[in-house]
Amino acid sequence: MRIRPFLVLVSIGLVASGLAIQACGSTVNDDTPVDAGTDAFEASAAKDVNQPDVKDAAPPCDPNKDYLKDIPDASLADGATTTGACLSCANAKCKAEISACAKDCACQNLAGDAIGCYLKGGSILSCGSGFASVPTATRNIGIALFGCLNQQCPDECATSQFDPDAGDGGDGG
């Protein structure tokens, strides 16, 4: 006797599930004859309404874009160098890293903004903070780019301020 209410509830649940699946499923265009060379499943699978159309998707970034070109030339390190000298060195000595970043849309946007921010006087931590929330591959490209600037263009880009021994002989004060 006690099992009947349980079976009734299970039966109602199965019927409700079946109706929900049917209601949420895709429909076949009624104008298409069933015997048109494709079965109903293939006809409904031809256009998945949950996937964006290619024409609606944003265009990919341009891998040949010079994302550093909009950074204006300005004085750095109290006139010891300029942003132009830094970018010139970067283009000469960090070409592989700049190119790798150009091929990654997120890196393009972040690196251009971060380098511009830094070269305008911002701290590398605040300017590069956007790289903290990107995929690891993009973050690694950014780290390689900034590492190259630090190693290959320390004077031109005034990166010596990041050296723990810069200016204080390493005594911390």
pTM: 0.58
Question: Which pLDDT score is estimated for 172?
Answer: 46
Tokens standing for 145? 């780019």
Pick the closest to residue 71 from 136, 3, 1, 157 (CA basis).
157
Tokens standing for 157? 């880009």
Q: Residue 94 and residue 149: Cα distance in Å, rounded?
A: 7
Q: Residue 161 and residue 42: Cα distance in Å, rounded?
A: 63
**Which positions of the chain have pLDDT values less than 70?**
1-59, 161-173
CB 152 within 8 A of CB 120: no
37 φψ region: left (φ > 0), alpha (ψ -120 to 50), beta (else): left
**Alpha-carbon torsion (114, 120, 124, 127), positive or negative:** negative
Question: Which pLDDT score is estimated for 77?
Answer: 79
Residue 153 identity (one-letter amino acid) = C
Question: Which pLDDT score is estimated for 107?
Answer: 92
Question: Which pLDDT score is estimated for 7?
Answer: 52
